[in-house]
């Protein structure tokens, strides 16, 4: 049944990658599932892209979270037995610093807040807080849902769990302090994955699609769709998994995207579609 669903998704207007369901964000039987069909994108504004730069990316990194800060990329990777937190040199893709999670944790989204790195895990119900400089573990947090994506708006953390709900959390306690129900054309938008806060909007990967949603933090409405098909060649696609990874540099307004097991990280500019 899963393979039939993947086939259905891949013939609709936005493309997806076929992946082993034991290796991705749906790696457990009770995991949140991707949207059953392509979301209704009309009449919401759509954007394509131009590639500004292409940087090397570790093709063995199962990217789950991505942040850019002060000249470096910070990356959270998944897979039990190889989940990690990394500091990465942008221009070369070289891993400069790495913390490896224990084998029983599947790493997920990350964000940096107040010189601390927060990292979720998939189904363990626990997340970790690290010192940004030396990656020493400072604390842990718990939550009742799956952990998928994580970002912040400068005041509150914002977390996804694969459904259409985004959770606002207190960065001091990780307590839930609010929710955002995300909708597209008044329909719930499930499959929200990696998150990034960009110019007052929440950008979210939509799991299994080469598609980002631009979301209003106030209303939860999808304000725009970003179509990221064809970043990889057909040959590169064969060894890669889904699009997942958004980072933004507010100082230079650079937007970066990559995916799980992708050989490249792309700096892109958005182009409104007519």
Mean pLDDT of 48-73: 96
Mean pLDDT of 8-17: 41
Helices (H), the chain: 2-10, 234-238
- What pLDDT shows up at residue 271? 96
Q: How confident is the model at residue 9 (pLDDT cuts 50, 70, 90)?
A: very low
pLDDT above 90 coverage of the chain, percent: 82
DSSP state of 101: P
Phi, psi at 2, each rounded to 5°: -60, -45
CA pair distance 237, 263, nearest whole angstrom: 10
Per-residue pLDDT of 203-213, as tens digits, reads: 999 998 999 99
Peptide bond into 43 cis (omega under 30): yes
Residue 215 has pLDDT above 50, yes or no: yes
CA pair distance 256, 248, nearest whole angstrom: 6
Give the Cβ contact number of residue 41 at 10 Å: 18
| 3-state percent helix, strand, coil for the chain, nearest multiple of 5 | 5, 45, 45
- What pLDDT shows up at residue 43? 84
Mean pLDDT of the chain: 88
Give the chain's domains with CATH numbers. Answer: 44-272 (2.130.10.10)
Residue 160 has pLDDT above 90, yes or no: yes
Q: How confident is the model at residue 34 (pLDDT cuts 50, 70, 90)?
A: low
CA pair distance 146, 78, nearest whole angstrom: 14
Looking at the DSSP bridge assignments, the partners of residue 123 are none
Residue 12 has pLDDT above 80, yes or no: no
Q: Is 182 exposed, middle or buried (0-12, 13-18, 19+ CB in 10 A)?
A: buried
Phi, psi at 255, each rounded to 5°: -115, 130
Lowest-pLDDT choice from 23-32, 33-42, 90-99, 125-134 = 23-32
Say what the pTM is: 0.88
Q: How confident is the model at residue 165 (pLDDT cuts 50, 70, 90)?
A: very high
Torsion of CA 119, 122, 123, 128, to 10 degrees: -10
Mean pLDDT of 247-262: 97
């Amino acid at each position: 049944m899963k393979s039939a669903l993947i086939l259905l998704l891949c013939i609709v207007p936005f493309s997806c990658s076929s992946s082993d369901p034991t290796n991705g964000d749906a790696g457990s039987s009770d995991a949140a599932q991707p949207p059953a069909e392509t979301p209704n994108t009309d009449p919401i504004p759509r954007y394509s892209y131009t590639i500004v730069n292409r940087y090397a990316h570790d093709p063995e990194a199962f990217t789950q979270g991505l942040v850019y800060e002060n000249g470096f990329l910070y990356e959270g990777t998944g897979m039990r037995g190889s989940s990690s937190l990394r500091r990465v040199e942008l221009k070369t893709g070289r891993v400069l610093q790495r913390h490896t999670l224990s084998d029983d944790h599947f790493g997920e989204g990350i964000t940096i807040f107040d010189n601390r790195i927060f990292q979720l895990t998939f189904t363990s119900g626990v997340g970790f807080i690290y010192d940004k400089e030396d990656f020493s573990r400072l604390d842990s947090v718990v939550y009742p849902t799956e952990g998928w994506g994580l970002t912040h708006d400068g005041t509150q953390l914002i977390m996804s769990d694969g459904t259409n709900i985004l959770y606002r959390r207190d960065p001091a306690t990780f307590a839930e302090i609010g929710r955002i129900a995300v909708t597209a054309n008044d329909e719930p938008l499930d499959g929200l994955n990696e998150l990034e806060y960009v110019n007052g909007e929440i950008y979210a990967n939509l799991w299994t699609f080469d598609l980002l949603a631009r979301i209003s933090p106030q209303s939860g409405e999808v304000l725009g769709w970003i179509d990221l098909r064809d970043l990889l060649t057909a040959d590169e696609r064969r060894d890669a998994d889904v699009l997942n990874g958004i980072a933004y540099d507010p100082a230079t307004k650079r937007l970066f995207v990559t995916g799980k097991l992708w050989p490249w990280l792309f700096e892109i500019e958005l182009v409104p579609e007519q």
